Amino acid sequence: MKKYIHIFVVACILAPLSSFAHEGMWLPSLLQQLNEEDMQANGFKLTADDIYSVNKSSMKDAVVWFGRGCTGEVVSNKGLILTNHHCGYGQIQSHSTVENDLLTDGFAAQSFGEELPNNGLTVSFVVRIDDVTKSILDGVKDGMEEEKRQEIIKANIEKVGKDAVNGTHYDYIIKPFFYGNEYYMFIMETFKDIRLVFAPPSSIGKYGGDTDNWVWPRHTGDFSIFRIYADKDGKPAEYSEDNVPYTPKYHFPISLNGVKPDDFTMVYGFPGRTKQYLPSEGVSYTVETSNPIKIAMREKTIAIYDKNMAADDAVRIKYSAKKARVANAYKKWIGESKGLKRLDAINKKNEQEEMFAQAVKGNKEYEALLDKFQEEFKAMEKYQLGRDLFIEELYYGPEILRFSLGFKALKDVKPNTPDFEQALMKLKGSAKGFYKNFDLATDREVFVSASSMYSDAIDPSFLPSSFAVAKEKGSFDKLANTVYKKSIFANEEKLMKLLSGSPEGIYKKIIKDPAFVIGNEIYEVYGNEIAPEYKRLSEEIDLSMRTYVKALKEVFPNREYVANVKGASKQYWSDANSTLRVTYGKIEGSEPRDGVEFKYYTTLEGVMEKRRTDVPKTHEFYVPQKLMDLYKNKDYGQYGEDGKMMVCITGSNHTTGGNSGSPVINAEGQLIGINFDRTWESTMSDLMFDPVKCRNIIVDIRYVLFVVDKYGECPRLIEEMTLVKN
């Protein structure tokens, strides 16, 4: 039986929202102290205690850290969770084959028994948040050597964390805030049996593909549905057929009432990383050095993927998730660089630093900080670039190199021992997964492209010997032939035969393999020549940043004054670090460029306007016939509004990576949508937030329900939810 709550709200006069600042990612445990009054003044009808409480169930008990990289929300008393389609993409792909293509066709479990397990996928709840600054900094003295300081902090973190979870099934995470001026502990409960329940076809869940990624107007039904399973006592457990749907402490009611401009909105989730306090030198490196080379490398990789995926369905399925992973940051960096230039961010940072310099004149602790930043960032540049290129080459470039390096696990293990057999078993399992999603010809092309660009960009002193020879000869084709024709890692059958042969000869064969040799050269150069100095300089910069942020808070108690951006928060907030945060704003459209004005919503009509008719089902603008029929007949059920089907909406909430899948909540604490993106002009907000330009993109919850109910014909899921309508 569907549960409805009929509410009648008496109209009230609220304070105008025009001065409403939207910047900041706030710790939920500090909302009462820092934000509650401001939130309520701008329309929020509940209290901080409703958002976060350790004494009663609250919204925090319905927010999960999904897969340790996204967010999800609980929407039923049977452990049903919503997140983004792109957050569940890897799981959907893992269940897909050419014959049973869930990516293309979607998936709907019509019973608990049809829900699909996902090995390795976890979701975590925050049980409580504690300020442990005093305990973690116990024994730390002013002027202490940084290495000694970190040793003390590390020991304190281990002791405080272990004491906190002793005798429980909980985990702990303790992280620094404000660059180590403060520390907070998050007690976590992690569930390991998470099953796929519903996925729309990619023609809905990924509609617009990479063309529309980071773009508004948007028409993407970016959602997927999973379920948490627990043991019969409601505790976390590994996958078992005996496990049962989890009964949560709280689940979000879902609003069918829609939204209007200036409505209060709140995003609750696990934002990954921001760098709001980065000095001008750091912003300059991002815009002028790092982003351009990373964009160029990924652009070529994406072109290779596109060509080969279009030519072969098997390659398309193998590389769909990989392409999405590569393309996401690629397009984000383009928008970030454009946004920072448009905002004149480097000059704004320079102006901010000039204000700081004037304010700390004569202060021996602070007045040398800015000069120190210049020295440290100049020294860091070639090591930072070396690290960036290492990541692009080994983690987003040719996969054969990274895969081969996994076999270093056999180096220090004696053959014919239990440890050796265990390592070998893991490698065989890893190989099975690797080859399932590997195409030799595609990887070879990526090798030539990425390796040549890596070699051109990196400091010559960091160039691996194999690449130095290839660069001198002016071509990486010959080196690619050596790797992809002679490497044992290029042939699954040969590798598995080796792993099943004499244990004594396995590692001796591998260390001479061309793929392993090249991968190991890159790895050794990074480990021996780049990483140590990068680590040392990072620690110096972190120490300077810790002092800088401390000084800012002392010298400019009102952050708005020094932030040098209209609408900046008056309060200081710590950069995102994949911990639970709240950000709040309002529903509003945008004016991203001169002469361009966007509404705050899109509709199904826009899906049809973008539709391509001469394309295969895998095309990013393909629309399924069934969706067209529903549109033609205006068969929207209770989810439509004035004869229209809303699809996406925008708000002025401050979000970043990790907020994908986050619940978007209205003034009454009801779910109105799922956060899934930012506009292109907003990608700069990791470094500098501009409330005039920055907008987060949300899939309207009514579109989610429409797709589940009308398109997916899975009303059993709707039956579980608590729907709210006036």
Q: Which of the residues are catalytic?
A: 86, 222, 660
- Angstrom distance (rounded) from CA 477 to CA 488: 18
Based on DSSP, count helices (H) and strands (E) in the chain, helices before strands.
28, 21
* DSSP per position, 348-386: HHHHHHHHHHHHTTT-TTTTTHHHHHHHHHHHHHHHHHH
- Angstrom distance (rounded) from CA 135 to CA 692: 41
5 DSSP β-pair partners: 724
Residue 488 half-sphere exposure, CB side, CA atoms within 13 Å?
A: 20
Distance (Å) of CA 518 to CA 410, 450, 468, 625: 18, 13, 11, 49
Q: Give the N- to C-terminal CA distance of the chain in Å, as an integer.
A: 18
What is the helix (H) or strand (E) element at residue 291, kind and residue range? helix 291-311
586 DSSP β-pair partners: 264
- Angstrom distance (rounded) from CA 208 to CA 204: 9
In this structure, the strands spanning 193-199 and 224-230 are antiparallel
* Cα angle, residue 488 at apex, residues 483 and 493 outer, rounded to 5°: 135
188 DSSP β-pair partners: 126, 171
Task: Give every CB contact of residue 128 below 8 A, 6+ residues apart in sequence.
Answer: 29, 54, 186, 187
Q: Assign 654 to helix, strand or coil.
A: coil
**Per-residue tokens: 347:** 């000059």
Distance (Å) of CA 635 to CA 630, 632, 710, 712: 5, 8, 8, 13
- Angstrom distance (rounded) from CA 477 to CA 484: 10
Nearest CA to 426 out of 407, 448, 443 is that of 407
What is the helix (H) or strand (E) element at residue 525, kind and residue range? helix 514-525
- Angstrom distance (rounded) from CA 439 to CA 311: 12
- Angstrom distance (rounded) from CA 667 to CA 128: 23
- Angstrom distance (rounded) from CA 237 to CA 243: 8
226 DSSP β-pair partners: 81, 196
Place of tokens 């990526």: 446
Q: Do 79 and 246 contact (CB within 8 A), yes or no?
A: yes
**Per-residue tokens: 83:** 């997140």
255 DSSP β-pair partners: 724
Q: Assign 423 to helix, strand or coil.
A: helix
Distance (Å) of CA 64 to CA 77, 124, 210, 400: 15, 5, 27, 34
Q: What are phi and psi of 117, to 5 degrees?
A: -70, 155
- Angstrom distance (rounded) from CA 337 to CA 283: 10
Residue 251 half-sphere exposure, CB side, CA atoms within 13 Å?
A: 20
126 DSSP β-pair partners: 188
- Angstrom distance (rounded) from CA 406 to CA 677: 34
- Angstrom distance (rounded) from CA 121 to CA 486: 36
Helices within 137-234 (DSSP H only): 146-165, 202-205, 209-212
